[in-house]
Amino acid sequence: MTTEVRVLSATGMLGSGFLESSLERGVALAPHVIAADAGSTDGGPAYLGSGTPFFSREATARDLRLMLRARARLGVPMIVGSCGFGGGNAGVDWIRDIVLEIAREEGMHFRAALIRSEQDKAYLKRRLREGRILPLHPAPPLDEAVIERSAHIVGAMGHEPIVAALEAGAEVVLAGRATDTSLFAAVPLMRGAGAGPAWHAAKTLECGTAAVVQRKRPDCLFAWVREDHFDVAPCDPEMRCTPQSIASHTLYENADPFLVTEPSGVIDTTEATYEAIDDRSVRVRGSRFRPSERVTIKLEGAELAGYQSVIIAGVREPYILRQLDSWLDGMQARFAERAREVFGFGPGPGGYDLRIRVYGRDGVMGKLEPRRDELGHEVCLLITVTTARQETSRAVAKSFAHLALHYPIPEWGGLISGLAFPFTPAEMDRGPVYRFNLHHVVQPDDPLEMFRTEMLEV
């Protein structure tokens, strides 16, 4: 008898939505698991750093309610990974509370597993001293002080903690940071599908309908995973997968289109072939999974970079534009003197960080911009002021905006107003800003040691 494991990916990102009719079509295909990814680093370090979610509670609860109803009818597990976007403890708690509220309202009963992936700083420092934290390329420098000052650090779990939770009877798995693929690979691997097809199917499923020809909306994607191949199709009959759309999904957000590194090995799609089954379904053969000798768990860390205030200003005057850089440099040098008079500090560590980005020149691409010598007839300046305290950043920004507005150029005699502020007050508070500070992997003794599972009877 041949193995077939059916996997329903509800959506590429929990909270981005899916059609109820698509979920129904997926349910009718009798999946063995319903899963969705709920997080990423892609939104930036603020989510991990602050523990705040990307989507609203309402949008997240809407998707979860429909998924929980579907899993209850089918009697199959539901897996959500990277809860709360950053995947830290706050995100797992947030999703848990939404799930508990839905279960109460709907009269649902199930066993839930919460798998936490936030890392203990003492553990990481020990592994660092043991030489068992290794940099990926390119990696920022790492020492114990980096670990200490991180707001939150998570490890991206593989399928093993999820499989362990399911084997312990979990029907709803709410995981902290996890690799996107492990959520979708766990059940096929447990049920005996081929490792190559299981992992490649998982990679295809994790973004939902990102793998279709023309993505009309975030929606459900379905896979049939067998021993030596998998089939994949979207649940919405109006969307289509083609060999090219499935092959090209390995490119998305991935540095290497053929190799994807997971905690326990490498997904290798170099030899994969893609064949149309009909005009909307694709069969993939030849995917391989090459187990690694050692488990590696990728770390993600965010630390506070400071508190920021920003100023937006336009410049249209041709005499200023033709000397823009020297004008901006001059006003910043003058402001450093003014700041020392007012605040007792200047630019640099312990003082303020002030940057001016010039839109209309290289605001989008910075040092990658090949046309940075060209300037339009107007530019937009985005000025950021970052210090250790919000009140300080705001105070510095206020003083800078005023000085910059009237900073002279030699061509004109008399007071000028060289900046067009679209609104006043010119300065706006952005709150805390974070930076990613880790691009490293840990070599644990086993794939479970960095993750903690708590079972809940709901």
Q: Which of 3, 248, 261, 323 binds other proteins (CB under 8 A)?
A: 248
Q: Which of 129, 140, 169, 326 binds other proteins (CB under 8 A)?
A: 140
| Binding span for other proteins by CB under 8 A among 3-11, 187-195, 247-255, 396-404 | 247-255
Question: Do 301 and 255 touch, CB atoms closer than 8 A?
Answer: no
As a whole number of angstroms, the distance between CA 54 and CA 111 comes to: 27
Q: Which of 30, 139, 428, 455 binds other proteins (CB under 8 A)?
A: 139
CA angle 449-450-455, nearest 5°? 80
**Quick one: CA torsion of 337, 342, 347, 350, rounded to 10 degrees?**
140
Please give the full DSSP string across 275-332, using - where no structure is assigned: EESSSS-EEEE--EEEE-SS--EEEEEEEEEEEEEEEEEEE--HHHHTTHHHHHHHHH
247 touches other proteins by CB under 8 A? yes
Q: Which of 312, 435, 456, 458 binds other proteins (CB under 8 A)?
A: 435
Nearer to other proteins, 110 or 400 (CB): 400
349 touches other proteins by CB under 8 A? no
Nearer to other proteins, 131 or 138 (CB): 138
Inter-CA distances, 267 with 113, 285, 298, Å: 27, 13, 16
Residue with tokens 């490293």, as numbered in its chain: 440
Nearer to other proteins, 66 or 433 (CB): 433
Nearer to other proteins, 41 or 399 (CB): 41
Q: Which of 309, 312, 240, 263 is nearest to 450 (CA)?
A: 263
- The number of residues that bind other proteins (CB under 8 A) is 47
Nearer to other proteins, 172 or 202 (CB): 202
* Secondary element (H or E) of residue 432: strand 427-436
376 touches other proteins by CB under 8 A? no
Shortest distance (Å) from residue 151 CB to other proteins: 14
Binding map of other proteins across residues 82-121, x = CB under 8 A, - = no contact:
----------------------------------------
Structure letter (DSSP) for residue 128:
H
Q: Which of 4, 43, 378, 452 binds other proteins (CB under 8 A)?
A: 43
Nearer to other proteins, 6 or 152 (CB): 152
The token pair that represents 58 in the structure block: 């309402």
**Sign (positive/negative) of CA torsion 410, 413, 415, 420?**
negative
Residues 6 or more apart whose Cβ sits within 8 Å of residue 259: 266, 267, 268, 269, 270
392 touches other proteins by CB under 8 A? no
Nearer to other proteins, 98 or 241 (CB): 241
Binding map of other proteins across residues 255-284, x = CB under 8 A, - = no contact:
xxxx-------------xxx----------
For other proteins, the binding residues (CB under 8 A) are 41-46, 136-140, 243-244, 247-248, 250-258, 272-274, 300, 305, 353, 355, 357, 363-368, 370-371, 384, 386, 433-436, 439
